[in-house]
Amino acid sequence: MRGVGLQLPRATIGVSRWRRFRAAIDWPLIISILAICTIGLLNLYSATRDPRHHGKFDKQVEWMIIGIGVFVVATVVDYKAMVRVAWVGFAGVVCALILVKLFGHSTQGSNRWFGFGSFRFQPSEVAKPVIIIVLARIFQDSETGGYSHKDVLLKMAAILIPIGLIAAQPDLGTSVIVGLIALTVGFLAMPSIWPMVYVTVGGLLAIPFLWETMHDYQKNRILAFLDPSADPKGNGYHTLQSIFAVGSGRIWGEGYMTGTQKEYGYLPEHWTDFPYSVYAEEWGFAGSVFLLAIFGFLLVWILNVALSARDRVGAVICTGVAAMTFWHVVVNVAMVLGIAPVVGVTLPFVSYGGSSLLTFFFAMGLVANVSLRKHGY
């Protein structure tokens, strides 16, 4: 006698698949991002109440809505497909960096943006996640092709091309961040750390030569960082006003939308480079630690996704995104506190700016992508 198979209704199968998909969504990652975005919007609203900055808040909300779409796309498209075309994306970024240097919108002597009416696009921001994907491709190839450490380093040396082009814009902060991302991934992904130690030592020995190639204003910023009080109304002004703003917040802060340094216009660029100063002044040490704690959780969670990834490619991508986020937060906060030069590095999801915001949404989408694929999607 033949057995009779029991077939579930299609509706039941659909509900089951939806429940599995919903369970596979990385909610801790999404909630952490939304929490930082909410704080960022509240902070920006307070920082741009001045009529001279009218419209920045609305523009940032628009960028965030677009960023959510970018996040979804980066989550849904299989990261392995992105890795397969990594070198094509790399070539595109290099071309864009060359074109922006030649034909880009010039601001204060720097050619960093393509300008299309009110829309501005910064290729150096896109370079960060593209380079992370390229690093994943390099380590994937080394795993399948049996490359030596020397072969891997030679392929990683290609990253010096966009770093050099970004530095030539000039954009010292972004070029340093890209270099730190590559070094961090190299130290964590290479089977032996010694090749990366040699690269790091070589980079440190090259600093005197790099110093000679810097623009005068870049040198002045570094010298002002060493002693901001030597030029309090010039190159040291940004750093000193930022330190005053953070210090005036004390333990509990002066209160939301009541920061005096920001309110009276003493703190420059407080919506882009120094939003953390505004936040620290209004919410104090307690609020500052709370925001850093959310960033800390986000970083730990990304590394947790890296450790549980189903393959090495996904682990390298997550490591790269964690490195990018970590160095942005560290350099920006250090810049605000006067323990790093002012180099124009944004605070993720908090600083005003579409290019940076979309870049981080895309990068976090890559992490969500890796997290989703480990559940079999």
Interatomic CA distance for residues 47 and 207, integer angstroms: 36
- Please, how many CA atoms are within 13 Å of residue 108, restricted to the half-sphere of its CB? 6
Does the pLDDT value for residue 15 go beyond 80? Answer: no
The whole-number pLDDT of residue 134 equals: 96
- Backbone φ and ψ for 134, nearest 5 degrees, come out as -65, -40
Residue-level pLDDT at 231 = 65
Give me the phi and psi of 371, to 5 degrees please: -65, -40
Exposed e or buried b for every residue in 323-362, given b needs 16+ CB within 10 A? bbbbbbbebbbebbbbebbbbbbbbbbbbbbbbbbbbbbb
Question: How confident is the prediction for the chain on average, in pLDDT?
Answer: 85
Q: Which two tokens stand for residue 51?
A: 């009529």
pLDDT tens-place string over residues 196-254: 888 888 888 888 888 777 777 777 777 777 777 666 666 777 788 888 888 888 999 88
| Encoded tokens for 315 | 């682990």
pLDDT of residue 373: 85
pLDDT for 85-108, tens place per residue?
999 999 999 999 999 888 877 666
pLDDT at residue 10 is higher than 70: no
SS3 49: coil
Residue 49: per-residue pLDDT: 79
Cα atoms found within 13 Å of the Cα of residue 133, Cβ hemisphere only: 29
**pLDDT value, residue 290:** 96
**What three-state secondary structure class fits 270?**
coil
**Distance between CA 38 and CA 350 in Å, rounded?**
9
86-89 long-range Cβ contacts below 8 angstroms, 24+ apart:
86/130, 86/133, 86/134, 86/136, 86/137, 87/134, 87/137, 89/130, 89/133, 89/134
Q: 288 versus 121: which is more confidently predicted?
A: 288
Q: Give residue-wise pLDDT tens across range 273-284.
A: 889 999 999 999
Structure tokens of 82?
């992105």
**Average pLDDT for 25-43:** 95
Cα–Cα distance, 234 to 365 (Å, whole number): 41
Question: pLDDT tens for residues 178-199?
Answer: 999 999 999 998 888 888 888 8
Is pLDDT at 12 greater than 60 in this prediction? Answer: no
**64-81 pLDDT, tens per residue?**
999 999 999 999 999 999
pLDDT at 376: 62
Higher-pLDDT residue of 15, 127: 127
Would you say 314 and 326 are in contact if contact means Cβ atoms under 8 Å apart? no
User: pTM for the whole thing?
Assistant: 0.90
Sign of the dihedral through C-alpha 187, 188, 189, 190: positive
